Amino acid sequence: MPKIVVIGGGWAGVAAAVAAAKLGAEVELAERTDLLLGSGLAGGVMRSNGRWTAAEELIAMGGGDVVKLSDQVCRHRDIEFPGHKHASLYDVTRIEPAVRRLLEDYDVKVHFGVRGRDVELAGDRITRVYLDDGDALQGDAFVDATGTAGGEVNCAKHGNGCVQCIYRCPAFGDRISIVARAGVREKAVRRAGGAGLFSGSCMLHKDSLAPDIADKLNTAGVAIVPIPPHLRPSRPWAQISCRHYARRQFAENLIVLDTGHAKLMSPFFPVDTLRQIPGFEEAVYCDPCAGGRGNSVRFLALAPRQNTMKVAGVANLFCGGEKAGPLAGHTEAIVTGTLAGHNAVRHALGRELLEFPRQLACGEAIAWVGEQAEGEAGIQKKYSFAGAVLFSHLQQEGLYTTDRGEVRRRVRAAGMENILAQKP
């Protein structure tokens, strides 16, 4: 039985652990904080636009356990807001315990409150990862799902300082990259004023909003409140990671989604200005706590990787999530994390690594974004199944569909039906 070690318990790390365990591997996962999912604890948006296609492809390929779990804790389905159709909103207050149970069902051993501090190398292979607590995890293959956000020094240098976001670096320590510890050079997205990009949204306590707005969120899932022209601040849209939100409607309105909390679709918004808008007179941020000033800074540590999610230069190291390139979103992390975990097992067994074929949206996204990120211009762009240049590209290639039967036919024609559930 191969031993797979996953470092980082966000959506990508969880998906990698499930994918590896599904093939019978012994899996251990180390998570820096005391909760799984990372930015997924403040996210909540699934299945919007091309994410629907990608999610259904993953299910048809036999790797949809995590997607199905998010569906089970949805608060709202098939909602629309500017630029987004047929979105699902999972409950951020319920998702983490559900994910823990899923890992328990797959016998994944989780180490909480520890980071992968360093690695031991034998030639071009990692033999073990040393943790904060002095323990060491040995493995046949490893997955780096540590993300690209933070820590405090980076947010101070490239953003507006630590704003007490969901990553909680002051409490649990800064992110440590396994890719970097293995000696592989990483890239950062550049922008005017520094490196990285702000997270694209923040959360308000729903009970701090006017009852009519809270009621609309609870019933419809979305509330759109016009911002009086004289209160519209200068918005840093060029600095946010989710470029599909960089449109006029988001500059002229407060667009709020119900994910259990009230998800404000803005990277940050000055509290004094926010409280002048009718219905938000008593609004309180819950993540980031200093959401009136800033948000976490992401895309600071992108790994060079192949379309199999193997990291270039290390024989048995794979990556998923934002570590795998300038892909923004939960579905994107789940897709890349699933492939990373699956191929970690294939590598440990000496089998040929799997690529998602480019006649599928998942495969085209991984390959095309990888190609784009090779150039200086391409790496400055942000990619998502839900919008911006990647969604447009998938539409042009005829890969976006909301026909479940059509997705299954494409997966079957590509020879990928249930492939992720079959032991290699």
In a domain, 44, yes or no: yes
How confident is the model at residue 247, as a pLDDT? 66
Is residue 84 domain-shared with residue 31, that is, in the same domain?
A: yes
Q: What's this model's pTM, rounded to 2 decimal places?
A: 0.96
pLDDT at 236: 47
Note down the domain range covering 72: 3-192+297-421
Q: Is residue 375 domain-shared with residue 317, that is, in the same domain?
A: yes
For the chain, residues with pLDDT lower than 50 are 236-238, 241
Residues in contact with 224: Cβ distance below 8 Å, sequence separation at least 6, in sequence order: 81, 82, 249, 253, 254, 255, 256
Could you report the per-residue pLDDT of 395-423, keeping only the tens digit for each?
999 999 999 999 999 999 999 999 999 98
Q: Do residue 166 and residue 229 come from a single domain? A: no
Same domain, yes or no, for 272 and 313? no
- Which of 287, 322, 340 is at the close of a domain? 287
pLDDT score for 144: 98
3 state DSSP class of 310: strand
In a domain, residue 383? The reply is yes
pLDDT, tens only, 40-52? 999 999 999 999 9
Q: With respect to residue 292, please indicate whether it lies within any of the assigned structural domains.
A: no
What is the reported pLDDT for 238? 47
Contact 320/12 with Cβ under 8 angstroms? yes
Cα R_g (the chain), whole angstroms: 20
pLDDT at 48: 97
Q: Collapsing DSSP states into helix, strand and coil, what is residue 116?
A: strand
Residues 81 and 188 in one domain: yes
Cα separations in angstroms, 193 against 149, 159, 240, 345, 371: 17, 9, 13, 41, 26
| End-of-domain residue from the set 287, 319, 345 | 287
Both 214 and 167 in one domain: the answer is no
Task: Please give the pLDDT value at position 412.
Answer: 98
Question: What is the CATH classification number for the domain harbouring 417?
Answer: 3.50.50.60
- At residue 137, the pLDDT reads 98
Q: What distance lies between CA 188 and its chain's CA centroid?
A: 17
CA-nearest of 152, 245, 157, 258 to 201 is: 245
Does residue 107 sit within a domain?
yes
Cα–Cα dist 164/170, whole Å: 8
Check whether residue 215 and residue 86 sit in a common domain. Answer: no
Domain count, the chain: 2
Nearest Cα to Cα of residue 33 among 114, 103, 149: 114
361-372 helix and 388-396 helix, angle to the nearest 10 degrees: 130
Q: Do residues 188 and 202 both lie within one domain?
A: no
| Token pair listed for 309 | 């999610």
Nearest C-alpha neighbor of 318 from the set 181, 166, 143, 161: 143
Query: What is the distance between the alpha carbons of residues 296 and 302, in angstroms, rounded to a whole number?
Result: 16
Same domain membership, residue 130 and residue 255: no
**Cβ burial, residue 164 (10 Å; 0-12/13-18/19+):** middle
Q: Within this chain, do residues 182 and 270 fall inside the same structural domain, yes or no?
A: no
Query: Are 108 and 27 within one domain?
Result: yes
Q: Which of 287, 310, 341 lies at the terminal end of a domain, its last residue?
A: 287
- Indicate whether 160 and 306 sit together in one domain: yes
What confidence tens digit (pLDDT) does each residue in 134-180 have? 999 999 999 999 999 999 999 999 999 999 999 999 999 999 999 99
